[in-house]
Structure 1
């Protein structure tokens, strides 16, 4: 087996403040760091990405009239089990889900993509529990 897959790479921690940032543009940058595309050793089949902490998820913005027209759907699997929730309602109820849904759509749809998504930490406010890690603040 390839030794590159077994090695633990030097993973760094990045802190991103989502206050007044646009959802799609922020998600693209976060995905870039989760996949490890900013590193020289990047290969699509090797997981060398970093950890990303997102704070102030409740204050994220979207452009245009999407705050009223954008809906998120989920289905229970039973007939009549379709649930629909608007962006405005979801940002009040669970703002983490909005960012996670956006980033999940940009990551690879395989086991490596799920490992990358596990390194994403999203918090509603300023306070987070990863103070012990050495974090690099990304100004976007």
Structure 2
């Protein structure tokens, strides 16, 4: 093998081609934010385990199920979750799992069990689980905004014609 250096050419901002001795070695694709195709999906959370559901939702919000996945570009889909109040947890988590938040005042730590959260705001249970699995920062917040969670069986996104996604 010769000691000639590799030659890298830039074909625009989104593709890089590396040549070695005039032969093509690799071609890296990078998704552009304006060309990403985003679909709408609807998921029924009835009887689904919270962690397993949240893992798959986070994966699809990031776009890791697509061939054109790029870590620094939001390539994920929109997801509508229905029946968040009927999500399941294993073991004694229904009574033992605690959710904490702080009001901002001194001594303002608040806690609630899983049962209390489901009774008060069932959407937050799935939102908290999914948000913890997404990247932290502006990109993760953009991915999280594509998640729509509803406690009941009705949603107001019929105009987007969501496809049923079985998880």
TM-score by length of 2: 0.80
Match 1:10 to one of 30, 37, 53:
37
Q: Which moved more, 1:73-82 or 1:33-42?
A: 73-82
How far apart are the structure 1 equivalents of 2:123 and 2:116? Answer: 13
**Counterparts in 2 of 1:70-85, with a 5 A limit?**
70-85=97-112
Deviations 1:23-79 (A, max 9, x none): 000001111110001111101111111000000000001000011110100012322
Question: Would the aligned equivalents of 1:68 and 1:87 in 2 still touch at CA under 8 Å?
Answer: yes
Match 1:60 to one of 80, 83, 87:
87
Question: Would the aligned equivalents of 2:33 and 2:75 in 1 still touch at CA under 8 Å?
Answer: no
RMSD: 1.5
> 1:5 deviation in Å?
4.5
Say yes or no: does 1:44 pair with 2:68: no
Counterpart of 1:35 in structure 2 is 62
How far apart are the structure 1 equivalents of 2:33 and 2:47? Answer: 39
Higher strand content, 1 or 2 = 2
Larger radius of gyration: 2
Give the 4+ runs in structure 1 shifted more than 6 A. Answer: none
Structure 2: gaps (5+ residues): 1-12, 15-30
**2:106 match: secondary structure:** coil
* Higher RCO structure, 1 or 2 (CA under 8 Å, sep 6+): 1
**1:85 match: secondary structure:** strand
> 1:6 deviation in Å?
4.3
Higher helix content, 1 or 2 = 1
Question: Would the aligned equivalents of 2:57 and 2:79 in 1 still touch at CA under 8 Å?
Answer: yes
How far apart are the structure 2 equivalents of 1:103 and 1:74? Answer: 17
Counterpart of 2:123 in structure 1 is 96
> 1:8 deviation in Å?
4.4
Structure 1: gaps (5+ residues): none
Question: Would the aligned equivalents of 1:5 and 1:47 in 2 still touch at CA under 8 Å?
Answer: no
> 1:121 deviation in Å?
0.4
